[in-house]
Structure 1
C-alpha cells in the first residue's frame, strides 16, 4: 500500500465522527499538516476537521507511527475540549520567543473597548502568568515524551483562565497573536478593521502526485503592520531556513491579502 493510501485509510478508520468521515482531500490535507509538524515546520495543529475526539486523533497518530510514516515526537493535547496535535519541543521554542526572547512575538490587544487594536505588553500580569503556565505544560509534555509515557495530555483546571485565542496563536507558531480581556468581554474591536492576511503554503509530493496545502494563515490589523513587520520577516526567514533542511515538502510560498469583515470571530 502506498504512503498516500495509508494516510487516507488511517484518517477514515480512526477519525470518523458518527457517520461523518474525512474525504480523500481532507485526509491528504491532514497528512501534509502532520508531516509538517513532525518535521518541525509547525509547532502545533488545531484539529477541527470534524467532531473526532482527542482519543481518536491519538489513534490516528499511533497508526501512522506504527507504519513508520511519523516519528514518535508528536503529542495529542486536549485543551478545554479543543484537540491539538503538538510537537512539544517546537511549541516550547515558540512560547519562549515571547517569554525569554522578548519582542520576537507580537501580542495585539483587541479589547472591545478600544477604538483600534494596539500592541500589548507581553509582560503584563495576565499574559505573563498564562504564557509561563503554557511553557510549564509544554516542558511537562516533553518530559513525558522522553520517558515514553502515553502521548496524550489533558489540561486541567489550570487553563480555565487562559485566553485560548492567545494560547492558540502561540501554539500554532504565529509571529503575532491576539489578546483581549475576557473577564470584561469576549467581543473584539476588529469589526470593519482592515486585516492583512498572511498565508504560507507548500506542496507535499506523495507517491506519484503533488498535493498543495496551507501550512499557516493568520492576520494582522493593517494599522499595525509596520509595527510588526520585522517580526513577520524574521518568522518567514526562519520558516524558510527550516524548510530547506527537509525534502518531503517543497515549493514554500508566502501570500498576503487584505480583508475587511463586519465581524471577526476568534
Structure 2
C-alpha cells in the first residue's frame, strides 16, 4: 500500500519498490553524466606561421580519439578573415587515391594508446606505452581565451615542457594529440623551446551526439609495431639522409660539424633513450 506524507511528496512502504526506483534514478543519472561527457573539439595545430593542421578530437564513453590530417596546408592569405574561422580542408591524397590521417585512440587512465603512423608510403598501427602526465595545476594564472576562462598547467613530457590552458566550463579531461587528464578541456597548449608547437581550440560541440569517423577495422588490419620499433626505423632513415647530404658537402680542414638529434615534434627524448 502506498503511504503519503504531507509536504514531502510520495513515499513507498515496500522496500522492493524503493530499491527499483533507486536503481532507475541511478541509471538515469549515469546516463545523463555519460551523455554530458560526450564531446567533439576541433583544434588548429600550428607548426609554423604559414602552415597548419586541422585536428578533430572526440571524447565518448571515456575514450578519446584524435584525428589529424597527415600533412599541413598553407594558410590562405585573408587579411579580413575572422580569427574564429578555420583554415580550409587539409586532407591529403596519397598513392592509390587513399586519404591518410593520423589517428590516436586513447582510453582514460589506460597506460597504452594506439595510433596510425606512415613510413615510406606504408601505414602502421603503433602502440605507445604512454607515460603518465603529472600536471602541475598550482598556478594562480587565469586568462580568458575566446569565450572560456582558463587556468594554467604545466608538465614535463619526453624532453619538453608543455604549457596548457584548460577551462572548468567544460569538465571533460580531454585535449589535442595525446594530451588530457586535466579537470577541464584544454583550450590552448604549446611546448616551450626554440621551435614551439601550438594547439588552439577553434570549435566545440558539447554535448556531441554524432559518430566518430574512424574505421577501426581498417586500423586493426594494419601491420603492428611498438613505438620504439617505429621510431628506430624513422631515426635510421633520417640518419641515412643526413649521411648522404653530408657526403655531398665540401670538407673544410680543421672544421668538425657536430650533429645533434632534434626531432620535429613535442617528443624529443623517449623513455628507452634515457637508459
The answer to whether TM tops 0.5 is no
Q: Which has the higher helix share?
A: 1
Please state which structure has a larger fraction of its residues in strand. 2
**Structure with the larger RCO, 1 or 2 (CA within 8 Å, 6+ apart):** 1
Q: Which has the larger radius of gyration?
A: 2
Q: TM-score, normalised by structure 1?
A: 0.26
Given the two structures, how large is their TM-score scaled by the length of structure 2? 0.25
